[in-house]
Amino acid sequence: MNTTHFIASEVLEISTISDILFQNKNIQLSESAIEKIKTCRTYLDEKIKTEDQPIYGINTGFGSLCNVEISKDKLTQLQENLVMSHACGVGELVPKEIVKLMLLLKVQSLSYGHSGVQLETVQRLVDFYNNDILPVVYTQGSLGASGDLAPLAHLALPLIAKGEVVYQNKVYESKDLLAKFNWKPIKLKSKEGLALLNGTQFMSAYGVHLLIKSFKLSYLADFFGSMSLDAFDGRIEPFNELVHLVRPHKGQIKTAERIREFLKSSELIQQKKAHVQDPYSFRCIPQVHGATKDTLDFVHKVFKTEINAVTDNPNIFVGEDEIISGGNFHGQPLALALDYLKIAIAELGNISERRIYQLVSGQRGLPTFLVDNPGVNSGFMIPQYTAASIVSANKQLATPASVDSIVSSNGQEDHVSMGANAATQCYRLVYNVERILAIELLNASQALHFKKPLKSSHLIESFLGRYQKEVEFVKEDQVFYKLIEKTLRFIDDFYIENELIFD
């Protein structure tokens, strides 16, 4: 097994990142990346020696201070002051898995040779990643416009022995951790602070993490929806391929195909039905889940483009002898994509909660609230309340952040994306949907028990055999939150091959 991924040696796929994380691979700069970094830095050093004109962020101040020229002997101080002054993050800590992704994506972006950083700066970020040295980063502080300035400043502080890091689940002052590894602080050269702080790696890391999670939840929503359909004595006809080929949305066709595959060999789905139609939450699974899949395809495209891009400023083009100040750090593409992802994944939760409601409503041969002796037992009444509460919370979180903007930097930065807010909202929402789906699994498993001796498909029965070792049939009332927690752990540990979830 290859235990190392070479940075910038090929297009970085979301599925590749999933493999890197799942297999706990190290990263290493490719030879071509090393050459590009060194060439760009040499070019910039020579340009500074010979150029007397102001070049934004290299020998000038930043933001609205862009017209203030900085003498050559102050360039290192300029860059270090930039990192320290921009480390203004507040709020909750960014989850460790997101911080690790930020390191990976920052290394990737700096490795294209358009940022002017030193090789040793990028290599130190690689060392942080490979040794699980994770800078302490805060969730609040980015406008998602001049890149993710505050979060990326916290990511960069340990390079200059400032700030804090987490190592082996313990928080260290960065200077102490550097000493532990016998590493000297990086002495930043011209533009390096700006290259480290400009960029979209906070938004991108959240987006990549949540995409991987969302593809998995999309798959599980199909699977748990199939279980609920079978438990509710639903009809298979609405999943017939003919129905979907005359309205050929890709996600719709894929969902129907999956449901048919999941329920192949089910005795329940094949039995004669007393009813002509099912409620929309069952009958329209292909249309609703499918629309989410199509959204995931769009969001996937946006983030694949972003993680293979240069997003700092200014951009250095050695071959063309150009240093150009532009706006690649602006997070608008990501903000819109994250808002779209919020809406799409929220819908998986919305329709899942409706299926939960149908299962506990005492229809289709199922007991009211899925328990014997309802009345004495409340059964699965309140898990549906919990799901409904989460659904409403998600409606609030799904409100687009990208429609907002606010002026900053004395009007120089007069339109911002709010993509960072969209990212942190999306994180909460996606994990909320996982909780709703866990409650659907809990309900569907309970409901299928009441359908015995008839069985579901071989695939579903095999899955239930594993799940019910963790969460047994509920005969009478008990403490339900523990069952939900066990179900969440089961879902979290449930591994799906990439070719299944990224299809």
The CATH number for 246's domain is 1.20.200.10
Task: With H, G, I as helix, E, B as strand and everything else as coil, classify residue 365.
Answer: coil
Buried b / exposed e over 448-471, threshold 16 CB at 10 Å, is: bbebeeebbbebbeebbeebeeeb
Lowest mean pLDDT among 60-69, 188-197, 272-281, 423-432: 60-69
- Has residue 333 been placed in a domain? no
Whether residues 386 and 285 share a domain: the answer is yes
The pLDDT assigned to 8 comes to: 83
Question: Which of 166, 199, 232 finishes a domain?
Answer: 199
Owner of token pair 């799904």? 398
CA distances from 411 to 64, 170, 206, 405, 422 (A): 7, 41, 28, 12, 23
User: Which residues constitute the domain of residue 11?
Assistant: 4-199
Same domain, 92 and 219: no
370 touches 443 (CB < 8 A): yes
Q: What is the Rg, in whole angstroms, of the alpha carbon atoms belonging to the chain?
A: 26
Is there a domain that residue 231 lies in?
yes
The answer to whether residues 245 and 116 belong to one domain is no
Task: Give yes or no for residue 455 having a pLDDT over 60.
Answer: yes
Q: Answer whether residue 37 is part of any domain.
A: yes
According to DSSP H, which parts of 65-173 are helical?
A: 75-86, 96-110, 119-130, 149-156
**Can you give the pLDDT at residue 410?**
78
Residues 257 and 120 grouped into a single domain? no
pLDDT of residue 146: 84
194 lies in the same domain as 235: no
Q: In this predicted structure, what is the pLDDT of residue 499?
A: 58
Give domain status of residue 322, yes or no: no
C-alpha of 428 from chain center? 10
Shared domain check, 171 and 35: yes
As annotated, the active-site residues are 56
Q: What confidence tier does 63 reach under pLDDT thresholds 50, 70, 90?
A: low
Residues 6+ apart with CB under 8 A from 465: none
Structure tokens at 298: 């769009």
Where does the pLDDT of residue 243 fall: very low under 50, low under 70, confident under 90, or very high at 90 and above?
very high
Shared-domain flag, residues 229 and 256: yes
Q: In the predicted model, is pLDDT for residue 64 greater than 70?
A: no
**Predicted local distance difference test score (pLDDT) of residue 70:** 61
> Tell me, what's the pLDDT at 373?
86
Beta pairing class for 26-29 and 4-7: parallel
Q: Report whether 106 contacts 155 (CB < 8 A).
A: yes
Q: Which two tokens stand for residue 451?
A: 């359908």
Domain boundary among 199, 218, 234: 199
Binned at pLDDT 50, 70 and 90, residue 503 comes out as: low
Examine the domain organization and report whether 170 and 242 are in the same domain.
no
Task: Summarize the confidence of residues 71-78 as an average pLDDT.
Answer: 77
Average pLDDT estimate for 56-66: 65
Q: Is the domain of 298 the same as that of 397?
A: yes
Among all chains, which residue has been given the structure tokens 């498909």? Answer: 457
Domain at 107, CATH number: 1.10.275.10
Mean pLDDT of 132-152: 95
Tell me the pLDDT of the chain averaged across its residues: 94
217 and 281 together in one domain: yes
| 495 in any annotated domain | yes
Residue 387 confidence class, pLDDT cut points 50, 70, 90: very high
Give pLDDT, residue 374.
Answer: 83
Could you tell me if 368 and 456 lie in one domain? yes
476's CB contacts (< 8 A; 6+ apart) are 371, 372, 373, 376, 377
> Is residue 153 located within the same domain as residue 262?
no
Q: Residue 184: exposed, middle, or buried by beta-carbon count in 10 A (0-12, 13-18, 19+)?
A: exposed
What is the arithmetic mean of pLDDT over 124-149? Answer: 96
Residues 203 and 402: beta-carbon distance below 8 Å: no
Cβ 380 vs Cβ 370: under 8 Å? yes
The model's pLDDT over 194-232, given as tens digits with 9 standing for 90+, comes to: 999 999 999 999 999 999 999 999 999 999 999 999 999
**Whether residue 2 has pLDDT greater than 60:** no
- What would the mean pLDDT of 450-472 be, rounded to a whole number? 97
393 within some domain: yes
Tens digit of each residue's pLDDT (9 = 90 or more) over 297-325: 999 999 999 999 999 999 999 999 999 99
Residue 45 has pLDDT above 80, yes or no: yes
What is the rounded distance in angstroms from the CA atom of residue 131 to the CA atom of residue 431?
28
Round to whole Å and give the CA distance between 416 and 330.
7
* Domain endpoint, select from 199, 231, 260: 199
Percent of the chain with pLDDT over 70: 96
3-state SS track over 397-429: HCCCCCCCCCCEHHHCECCCCCHHHHHHHHHHH
pLDDT beyond 90 at 72:
no
Q: How many domains does the chain have?
A: 2
* CA atoms of 417 and 403, how far apart (whole Å): 8
What is the pTM assigned to this prediction? 0.95
pLDDT at 380 over 80: yes
pLDDT higher than 70, residue 62: no
pLDDT band with cut points at 50, 70 and 90 for residue 378: very high
